[in-house]
Amino acid sequence: MDQKLATEMACGLANSNQPFLWVVRPGSVQGYEWVDFWKRVWWQRLSVSEGVPMLCQPFSVDQLMNARYLSHVWKMGIEIVVGKREIESAIRRLLVDKEGEEMRKSAMEIQENVKLAVSHGGSTQNSLYNLVEFILSL
């Protein structure tokens, strides 16, 4: 991230009056390191499978679609535009407001569905098995 984005994030986090831990590694302001719960949407698989609500900051086309899906369909994220006021508002919505409580509940339900899908006999395993069977039948 660039210096301006880092400053906006820092101000938004501080102004939210919520506890946070921000570890900055040398060189990370220009790289791809970010605060603990700050998720770029291409990390969504880990967050979804762990039941973690997200602040979604899309940077490219596929990330925009993922952010919209996470925030509007699964209702386990907030799509944000980077600015200290927007970040502050999103953090409060996620951590303090009833909306955040609902997102955490939704995230936990989705986490359970993911666990069922990838478990033995789940839909993911069955779909993969069916695909292999189809390929072998050709």
DSSP codes joined into one string, 64-85: HHHHHIIIIIS--EEE--SSHH
pLDDT of residue 28: 58
pTM of the model: 0.64
CA 18/CA 25 separation, integer angstroms:
22
Digit-coded pLDDT (tens) for 61-85: 778 888 888 899 999 888 887 789 9
**Number of domains observed in the structure of the chain:** 1
CATH number, domain of 49, equals: 3.40.50.2000
Digits of tens for pLDDT over the chain (138 positions)?
677 878 888 899 899 998 888 877 666 555 444 444 444 444 556 677 778 888 888 777 778 888 888 899 999 888 887 789 998 999 899 889 999 999 999 999 999 998 999 999 999 999 999 999 999 999
From the list 69, 67, 66, the residue with the least C-alpha distance to 55 is 67
Helix (H, G, I), strand (E, B) or coil at 17: coil
Exposed / middle / buried, residue 72 (Cβ in 10 Å: 0-12, 13-18, 19+): exposed
CA 115/CA 77 separation, integer angstroms:
19
Residues spanned by the domain of 28: 3-137
pLDDT of residue 97: 92
